[in-house]
Structure 1
Amino acid sequence: MAGNGGETTWCFSQVKGTLEDDVTEADLISCVEFNHDGELLATGDKGGRVVIFQRDPASKQCVPKKGEYNVYSTFQSHEPEFDYLKSLEIEEKINKIRWLKRKNQAHFLLSTNDKTIKLWKVSERDKRVTGYNTREEGGRPRDPARVTQLRVPTVLPADLMVEASPRRIFANAHTYHINSISLNSDQETYLSADDLRINLWHLEITDQSFNIVDIKPANMEELTEVITAAEFHPTECNLFVYSSSKGTIRLCDMRAAALCDRHAKLFEEPEDPHARSFFSEIISSISDVKLSNSGRYMMSRDYLGLKVWDLRMETKPVETYPVHEYLRSKLCSLYENDCIFDKFECCWSGDDQRLMTGSYNGFFRIFERGGGGGAGAGGATRRSELTLEASRDAAARPRQPLRARRVAATAKRKKDEISVDCLDFNKKILHTAWHPHESIIAVAATNNLFIFQDKF
């Protein structure tokens, strides 16, 4: 596997979470996110919990470096609620986590469920104050009559404690379920998006937000599309993009108008009329959109594949990567079991040269961009594509190269291939994250977080 056209050899590093079969719904991981320097890795789950992992200091010192993380902090971010006006339960499930860039000793992150966004401060405390005049060591108030001398409090070392405290709560701004939050490059504002609206917030103001996109029609029967994902440009604070269920991506410029209902650019690939079917609109819906770290490119994930767009060219993607094209013949059964509505996420490597997204059967795909062009980009071919599996078998072979997996698209299959009919559609990889500077990846598989890295 190694050395095949510049292909990276990936090895298992760690797995977090129990590998038992008996897993509760609340333990299922619903989002994964590295912070800006990759020292911390956060996961959110359906039970409303956030677990933060910290890079093991020893794993960075050894040669070669290892991608190993230890539990740093665990806290309950959201609780289940009930909307009495609409008689609706509001799940505690964490939909998205976004880290703020670090400005001091503390870390800050945004987390959201369907309705409420919270800003959390995560800080360390390794000292304690002793020698108070007005209270005992245990914290009980002292009787003033018993205070006979003035004591000067002293600071002593103590066991390290990591505290997570909510600093801001941004609520009551979304009628529909929040699907995206994205921090602006100014680190002062952020956006939140639901099915029909995108709001702009200031991190210091919780009681008001500005509606910058509203696609809700006057008559809901005329509704033809919904917003599926939204993200700010990584360097231009006035630009953001949002995708829709009709397979389009709109680039908006906040300098043009306060309400960005008129987009600056529309990215849409013309549909082949000969390939149209009952499922065309469903599988063309974009489940995730991510701008590259350089800000020049944009990646979109629909049901069957990845597309890379150049922000300077709206007419068609410059690269196209099929993720699981072999499922096209299975769309009818995938529609019946609702798998066709699964929302797969995608991510860029730190150098923008590789892409990653998930599939079924515990599989995830890594594509290496060949000279800036994938399949369909002016005839250029990508250097490599790789299908790997997040499984217990990998966990049983630490630091061993992962075996590339292959799926047979037809009934005739080779010895090392897996039949499409044998795929487990309950084992789906929806959430992945890539370390911002190193070849370390995190993959969420049900209740487990797998961490892989390039060859040791």
Structure 2
Amino acid sequence: MNGGDGGDVAAAPDGPPLPLDWKFSQVFGERTAGEEVQEVDIISAIEFDRSGDHLATGDRGGRVVLFERTDKKEHGGNRRNLEKTDYAISRHPEFRYKTEFQSHEPEFDYLKSLEIEEKINKIRWCQTANGALFLLSTNDKTIKYWKVQEKKIKKIAEMSMEPSKAAGNGNVSSTIVTSTHKPHLANGGYTSLSNDLLFPAGGIPSLRLPVVTSSETNLVARCRRVYAHAHDYHINSISNNSDGETFISADDLRINLWNLEISNQSFNIVDVKPTNMEDLTEVITSAEFHPNHCHTLAYSSSKGSIRLIDLRQSALCDKHSKLFEEHEAPGSRSFFTEIIASISDIKFGRNGRYLLSRDYMTLKLWDINMDSGPVSTFQVHEHLRPRLCDLYENDSIFDKFECCLSGDGQRVATGSYSNLFRVFGGHAVSTEATTLEASKNPMRRQVQTPSRPSRSLSSITRAVRRGGDNPGVDANGNSFDFTTKLLHLAWHPTENSIACAAANSLYMYYA
């Protein structure tokens, strides 16, 4: 199937959509054999913009790298006209490196004697204006608002003498006479522009004034706002409001509401900090605004619950309007129950009716109009249940996997170990469950990229027109490599295309 023609989903008669045939598309920053990955190069955030024409990644080194779609630009975005041109027809979205900038630097909190990493936790695109791109990026403590825009940089020729005339007139010093005395105009030899510079009466024909020789267009990233000193704990989420003017930021115990144009104050709308910290039983793990209703947002907790709140009800939203949680089966409680129940990520569907959550073991799809239980539950790590003790020993059980939905809401996806990611059919009776490995992609065609620093994400770019089949998952989990994990991924907003991060490499698949 082809998802490049607008993301239309073929459906079987009176049933769920047909399973998609996923293929490898591109990879940026792929490692060569034996190359060691630097910690600062590991990708920590991925985000498509609303149009899907731009993609941003953040890494642990505090850098933001932007990619732009090229197949629309090269072919005018009209697939019917492609048949009349000499260009090869693009069957899937193709991206190329656009620019990068250093968003955050390592800091030190002297009051708390605490190092603040430069790692980018989240990136969120804002509304574009006048051809400029706007986005928010955050590390553990500080949020920044960036504007990326093309600027024309003019090159000026230096003032100098023409070589052909310089020999006849001597050098500038022989023509420009310096004197400490006032000139005598009566002798007719010189006129004066100042007390110190004397010029011949006829001027200096060989002296050229500076002129603009050329102008180049460069992408310039400028930080417009810095939102700091509002969180005592690590920021885990930022989310734009549909009003285009405000956004929220969430840490373990509080959610703050900001205006994009005001950086020195925010409003605390959720506070779950108890009077006595010994009474603390759960923390906030993720928060997101409703895509269409500017007064509605949801946040998840470490106890596996999701709260929907309405900003119209009260200034401090300490009471939720709806609570989504699934009660555990009697007798199934164990030492690991609360750990694996913690929700690491939530995402609203594009129309705002469905909400997807990811805990360690499962993906759950919720209907916000039905709080009795999830509409669908997708088993991701059920085969790891016998190994929870090992996962706890090596801290893997605390890994925070992200999740995403397709633009049409028909499918959901999340990552796993061994750089695997899984795609499930979101339909209630769908049995679609595809597993792909980000790193094993045959028939690659190497593409040259502009020379960039060795730390760069896109120092090596490989692309391929068609990919082969991907290996399946070992059902018993024995083949899993817990040192390689696919935590971050994003679904293109209008087409069946997924971008996912495996260490420092950005892989893209299409269907």
User: In structure 1, what is the Cα distance between the partners aligned to 2:442 and 2:304?
Assistant: 35
Structure 2 partner of 1:314: 371
Q: 1:17 aligns with which of 29, 53, 62?
A: 29
Aligned match of 1:67: 93
SS at match of 1:206: strand
SS at match of 1:328: helix
Deviates more, 1:108-117 or 1:63-72: 63-72
Unpaired runs of at least 5, structure 2: 3-9, 83-87, 161-192, 198-202, 204-209, 446-463
Distance change >3 Å, CA 233–CA 155, structure 1 → 2: farther
* TM-score, with structure 2 as normaliser: 0.78
Alpha-carbon distance between aligned partners in 2 of 1:394 and 1:67, rounded to the nearest angstrom? 19
Give the SS at the match of 2:389.
helix
Q: Could you tell me which residue of structure 1 aligns to residue 450 of structure 2?
A: none
Q: Tell me how far 1:439 sits from its aligned partner.
A: 1.6
Q: 2:118 aligns with which of 92, 98, 113?
A: 92
**For 1:37-186, what aligned pairs fall within 5 Å after superposition?**
37-56=51-70, 57-58=73-74, 62-126=88-152, 128=154, 158-186=215-243
Aligned mates of 2:227, 2:443 — CA distance in 1: 40
Report the residue type matching 1:49 in the other structure: R
User: Which is further off, 77-86 or 433-442?
Assistant: 433-442
Measured at CA, do residues 156 and 169 of structure 1 come closer, stay the same or move farther in structure 2, by a change above 3 Å? farther
Greater RCO, CA 8 A, separation 6+ = 2
Q: Distance in 2 between matches of 1:451 and 1:32?
A: 12
Name the amino acid aligned to 1:51: V
Q: Within 5 Å, give how 1:240-251 maps onto structure 2.
A: 240-251=297-308
Contact in 1 for aligned 2:156/2:214 (Cα 8 Å): no
Bigger shift: 87-96 or 1-10?
A: 1-10
State whether residues 226 and 245 of structure 1, in contact with CA within 8 Å, keep that contact through their aligned partners in structure 2. Answer: yes
1:439 to 496, 501, 510: 496
- Cα displacement string for residues 252-303 of structure 1 (whole angstroms, at most 9, x for unaligned residues): 0010000001111110111112221111111110000111100101000000
| Equivalent of residue 409 in structure 1, options 475, 490, 500 | 475
Change (3 A) 1:136 1:342: farther
Secondary structure at the counterpart of residue 407 of structure 1:
coil
Q: What is the rounded CA distance, in whole Å, between the counterparts of 2:249 and 2:212 in structure 1? A: 42
Change beyond 3 A, Cα 1:194–1:136: farther
In structure 1, what is the equivalent of residue 276 of structure 2? 219
What are the superposed Cα offsets for residues 326-375 of structure 1, whole Å, 9 maximum, x if unpaired? 111111101111000000000111111111110011110011223xx1xx
- Which of 347, 357, 361 is equivalent to 1:300? 357
Asked whether the 8 Å contact 1:354–1:367 carries over to 2, the reply is yes
- Whether the aligned pair in 1 keeps the contact of 2:146 and 2:221 (CA below 8 Å) is yes
User: How many residues of Structure 1 are paired with residues of Structure 2 in the alignment?
Assistant: 425
Match of residue 140 from structure 1: none
Q: Could you say what secondary structure the match of 1:276 adopts?
A: coil
Q: 1:169 to 1:395 in 2, by over 3 A?
A: farther
Distance 1:136 1:190, change over 3 A: farther
* CA 1:357–1:395: 2 relative to 1, 3 Å: farther
Q: Return closer, same or farther for 1:112/1:267 CA change in 2, 3 Å cut-off.
A: same
Q: Name the SS of the counterpart of 1:257 in structure 2.
A: coil
Paired amino acid for 2:242? S
**1:356: which partner in 2?**
413
The superposition leaves residues 223-265 of structure 1 with CA deviations (integer Å, 9 ceiling, x where unpaired) of 0000000000001000000000000000000100000011111
1:400 aligns with 2:466: yes
In structure 1, list runs of 5 or more residues that go unmatched: 138-143, 374-380, 411-419
AA at the equivalent of 1:406: G
Q: Tell me which moved more, 209-218 or 49-58.
A: 49-58
Matched-pair contact (CA < 8 Å) for 1:10–1:402: no
Answer yes or no: is the 8 Å Cα contact 1:239–1:253 preserved in 2.
Answer: yes
Amino-acid identity (%): 55
- For residue 327 of structure 2, what is the aligned residue in structure 1? 270
Spell out, residue by residue over 1:194-241, the C-alpha distance to the aligned partner (whole angstroms, 9 max, x if none): 000000000000110000000001111110000000000001000000
Cα distance in 1 between the residues matched to 2:260 and 2:235: 17
* Residue 337 of structure 2: aligned partner: 280
Residues 176-211 of structure 1 show CA distances to partners (whole Å, capped at 9, x for unaligned) of 000000000001000000000000000000110000
Query: Match for residue 141 of structure 1?
Result: none
Displacement of 1:394: 4.5
TM-score (norm 1): 0.88
SS across alignment from 1:37: coil
Shift, 1:36, TM fit: 1.0
2:213 & 2:52 partners in 1: Cα distance? 31
Inter-CA distance 266–155: structure 2 relative to 1 (3 Å threshold):
farther
Letter in 1 for 2:109: D
CA root-mean-square deviation: 2.6
